[in-house]
Amino acid sequence: MDLAFSEQDEAFRQEVRDFIAGGMTDALKAKADIDAPFDMDDTMAWHKILYRKGWVAPQWPEAVGGPGLSATRRFILTEELELAGTPPLSPFGLSMVGPAIIQFGTDEQKARFLPKILSGEEVWCQGYSEPEAGSDLASLRCKADDDGDHLIINGQKTWTTYAQYADWIFCLVRTDGTGKKQAGITFLLIDMKTEGVDARPMLTIGGTPAFCDTFFDNVRVPKANIIGEINAGWTVAKALLGHERTLLAMVGTSRRTLRRIKHIAAETMSGGTALIDQPVWRNKIAHLEIELESLKMANLRVLAGADLGRAPGPESSILKLRGTEINQHIYELAMEVMGHDALSWYNDDDVIPASEQGIAPAFCYTRANTIFGGSNEIQKNIIAKWILGLPAK
């Protein structure tokens, strides 16, 4: 099997690199150079730059505004954006609800929502997890009562990332509690400005206000905002999670962090020798590089299937499982290489270089990697049942 990219694809890679170099503003470049955190204004500024280029939704079909890139070029674009440290775009509109609307939405819903997702005019968040309904998502209790042309929503969602900035939220709501729990769920789009919606941010241990608790108190939502059929939201949700899990391989992000580990190891001395020149540390770095290369090949196989019109299936669980594990291991190694300096980011003085100060917060944040998008324990059950043909436990 030939694993080399074609000359045309390598030319596209250079086009992407040239675009990033010329397209990022000085303010964004300054943050990217030291891996400083980007705020929502940075994210949306970069979103609109990519939108003007036509690359903001590389996986969307041309018929709904996508660029019509092959699977290989989508991978190259994503990898180069991650390697350059550009602001990560919010996935909830572009990579989650957008594809769900494309697959299950009506023509009216596509015309109403897709253009504003592409342009960044409307920002989205996700309403899936609830207290007592995280990994076991089908146990959700956020209730939707029938009221003629509307549904009345009452309940709570949690871990709603950046809900405080969102214009819309896509939610799974309980419309029938009498049968099998997966069968009574509906996929619903809710305007965050609707009376009775309340998003309350929470601060994480990594110092980010990414997450919110979101409450619904007698929120009236038109039935026209249902995606798919009423009580058939589980089918939409599974398709959406397949798209989400292909994003969680994070190959470019992990490669960038490994590159930073090598730099730190070259600058850190032990016993008069740089860590990068010591066999123990070189072996640890090489081991992760090999695992990451294997993940990259698996990612390309899934994307190639998507190029043939196949929606991400259970194989996306492999990407989610290994991608998040490898990313966690890489940040664990980064903390280990930094040693006692790893937690100096808590201090006000510049104990460590600015380019290394984001490692500890990222380490804390990535503890959640193996939970969100469906916990890795659940992914193992999916792989056992649908790929290996074993009875899930």
What are the residue numbers of the active site? 244
Rounded to 5°, the CA angle 25-345-326 comes to: 75
* Distance (Å, whole) CA 337 – CA 264: 7
Tokens encoding 254: 């992990």
* Distance (Å, whole) CA 151 – CA 62: 34
Instruction: Produce one character per residue of 44-56: b if its CB has 16 or more CB atoms within 10 Å, e if not.
Output: bbbbebbbeeebb
Neighbours of 391 (CB within 10 A): 8
What's the count of helices (H) and strands (E) in the chain, helices before strands? 13, 10
Which residues touch 374 (CB under 8 Å, ≥6 apart)? 135, 137, 241, 245, 317, 320, 382
Neighbours of 287 (CB within 10 A): 12
* Distance (Å, whole) CA 182 – CA 80: 39
Which residues touch 235 (CB under 8 Å, ≥6 apart)? 104, 228
* Distance (Å, whole) CA 141 – CA 133: 8
